[in-house]
Amino acid sequence: MTPTTTEMTSAMSERIEELYRHWKDLLAALSRRFGRSGADVENALQEALVGTWKHLDRIQPGAERAYLWTAAFRRALNEVQRTPAGDPLPADLSDESRSAEERLIEQERWAQVDAALSELPDTTRLWLVLHARDHSYKDIAAKFGVPMTTVQSRIHRGITHLRERLGGKR
């Protein structure tokens, strides 16, 4: 006998509630590592669970932790990258004092930077962005609970990768 839509929805709801109860502390800790607190942590958990709900039928039993962790990590990474901190990294491309050709060249250059950044592991990319926004190695290490030397070496590797991809000199 084929289950009804109501039965399937009920089963999915139960599974999401079970995942929430089981993994909420881990996901909350991840959100706090990105500087979130209070209601922001709860919102991040709900965002991860809504994304999980949409793809629940594709997630194999036993792979929930990895799926939720990745979903929460990517949402937090996107939030950090969207949140302005001081001056934006790219110059204002609508600056009328420069010629259209200069603005186009700069726009293409930033597209190359984005492409090179997208090749990096998520954590390295995030740490590079945080460091570019004047977060110290020490602050990044404390936020992510890793040794400062780990942060330094990964940022160095990320910068080396960007230099190689973008044709920069040492």
pLDDT at 152: 93
Residue 93 in any domain: the answer is: no
Please give the DSSP secondary-structure letter assigned to residue 93.
T
C-alpha distance from residue 160 to each of 30, 89, 115, 118, 166 (Å): 27, 18, 15, 14, 10
Q: How confident is the model at residue 82 (pLDDT cuts 50, 70, 90)?
A: low
Same-domain pairing of 14 and 78 = yes
Same-domain pairing of 11 and 74 = yes
Range of the domain at 122: 100-166
Same-domain pairing of 16 and 44 = yes
Question: Per the structure, how many domains does the chain have?
Answer: 2
Q: How many residues does the chain have?
A: 170
**Cα 72–Cα 121–Cα 110 angle in degrees, nearest 5:** 100
Residue 27 in any domain: the answer is: yes
The pLDDT tens digits for 50-69 are 777 777 777 777 777 777 77
Residue 128 in any domain: the answer is: yes
The pLDDT tens digits for 93-139 are 455 666 777 777 777 877 787 788 888 888 888 888 888 878 889 98
Instruction: Tell me the helices (H) and strands (E) count for the chain, helix number first.
Output: 7, 0
